[in-house]
Structure 1
Amino acid sequence: MPLGKLIFHFFLLATIVVTKTHSWGAVGHAFVARIAMTFLTDSSKTFIKDILPWYVYGNMSMLASWPDNILYPDTNPVGYLNWDWSKPLHYVNTPDYVCQYVPSRDCVEDNCIDGAIQNYTKRLANTALDHVQRQEALQFLVHYVGDIHQPLHSGFTSDRGGNSVRGDDPES
């Protein structure tokens, strides 16, 4: 069977068999971070090991979900309201059915994932910032690079960052 037909049949079977979908969560974020780590130079690995907490031994994947974990009362019962400002930084939306991203319209004051990636890249490189600020910058950056590669983190306004898109069978 030709490869194209095989792929088509696989996806057809997957849509029949798979009835529920989930975001990739901690496992997906860890996986993206591990892949990224394979592309680091030795000096970059040393830099990251020096920035991250000692107990992760320079392993970015161990903290890749931190920006999600700090947002909700079930994962951060005491401090989640302190991080509420960061929720819009996990995605970017364009107006419904407009398939062109315009930063001045879609990321006002850098309050979206594009602005967050640019901001935290600059903060990580800024040696005038203290260690904690640069550590947070790296953790946010690792997470947001994972988010931007996840489906539905770039979508239409009515999608609400993918939260309005159902991927499961509403009858189940």
Structure 2
Amino acid sequence: MTRFLYFGLFLLVANNLAADATARTADPALWGRDGHKAICLMAWWDMKPETRSAVRSLLATNRAFDRFMESCLWADQVRGSDPAYDRYTTAHYVNLPRDATSFNLERDCGDTFCAVEAVTESLAVLENSDSPPKARLNALKFLAHFAGDLHQPMHAGYAFDRGGNDTAVTAFGEPSNLHRVWDSVLIERSWASWVDMASHLYFDITDADREAWDSLNPARWAEESHAILRETAYDFGAHGEVDEDYRAKNITIIETRMQMAAIRLARLLDAALATG
């Protein structure tokens, strides 16, 4: 299927998404609202038609969300709202040691329900057609969100600063922290809207990219993110300045990670939900 076919799909939905495109939030939600919705919109475009149909059917079991992109924010929205979801509080990230080059389940998750485990568990529930409809719907929403989180380098970070949340920086003259910079600040400095970002990033993805990004192993995603974090994330000014040079160096990394998350999420959902 060519990207031109998807362009027609983009034009069809763009008007319905226009109001969302201009919405901003001061809350630095994980990957940011814009990042998560862009990832899920790209995944929506890339998944098989029968997968989209299955996703629509699952969403129809609970009318809280009309669109897949909105449902991808749900895992943030339920944090602290219901004791039934307390175990997912730690599922948005995984902490690795500074010198780690590979993921180790016992070392990096231990008794904590981490993002790698959350993706694996959610996928198992989703692909089991005998799972209750509510459980499958929740699994869809968790999977879409946590797959995105694992591709954000600060979500495979260090425990000592809580994935950059405790590393204070001055981002373009404003007080911030390193986690928020990677969640939303660099994206907001680079794109006018999340729909514009999603469309441009999606139509830049090649078949060669899809082949190169064929890993559906969440442990591998964590390793990739951690390697990026070690190499570049903490390379800011001596006094904690995040400036245009830092943005220019890292925005392409962020964009590529979003593209990878979208393609991998689409393939996971195809495997779990497509019948043909």
Q: Give TM-score scaled by structure 2 length.
A: 0.47
Identity of aligned residues (%): 28
CA distance in 2, matches of 1:91, 1:33: 18
2:63 is the alignment partner of 1:63 = no
CA distance in 2, matches of 1:47, 1:171: 44
2:131 is the alignment partner of 1:129 = yes
Query: What SS does the corresponding residue of 1:160 show, helix, strand or coil?
Result: coil
CA distance in 2, matches of 1:64, 1:127: 21
What residue ranges of structure 2 are gaps of 5+ in the alignment?
A: 1-27, 176-276
Identify the structure with the greater helix proportion: 2
Query: What SS does the corresponding residue of 1:162 show, helix, strand or coil?
Result: coil
CA distance in 1, matches of 2:73, 2:117: 19
What residue ranges of structure 1 are gaps of 5+ in the alignment?
A: 1-21
Give a deviation string over 1:28-49, Cα, whole Å, max 9, x none.
Answer: 1111100111111111011111
AA aligned to 1:36 is A
- Give the alignment of 1:23-172 within 5 angstroms: 24-53=31-60, 55=63, 56-57=65-66, 59-72=67-80, 76=81, 79=82, 81-108=83-110, 111-168=113-170, 172=175
Task: Provide the aligned length of Structure 1 versus Structure 2.
Answer: 144
Q: Give yes or no for contact 2:92–2:114 (8 Å, CA) kept in 1.
A: yes
Q: Give yes or no for contact 1:121–1:141 (8 Å, CA) kept in 2.
A: yes
Q: Give TM-score scaled by structure 1 length.
A: 0.73
Q: Give yes or no for contact 1:67–1:143 (8 Å, CA) kept in 2.
A: yes
AA aligned to 1:124 is L
Query: Relative contact order (C-alpha < 8 Å, sep 6+): which is higher?
Result: 2
CA, structure 1 residues 41+110, in 2 after alignment: closer, same or farther (shift >3 Å)?
farther
Q: Give yes or no for contact 2:90–2:112 (8 Å, CA) kept in 1.
A: no
**How far did 1:110 drift?**
7.3
Give a deviation string over 1:18-73, Cα, whole Å, max 9, x none.
Answer: xxxx564212111110011111111101111111136445x31011111111114x
**How far did 1:171 drift?**
8.2
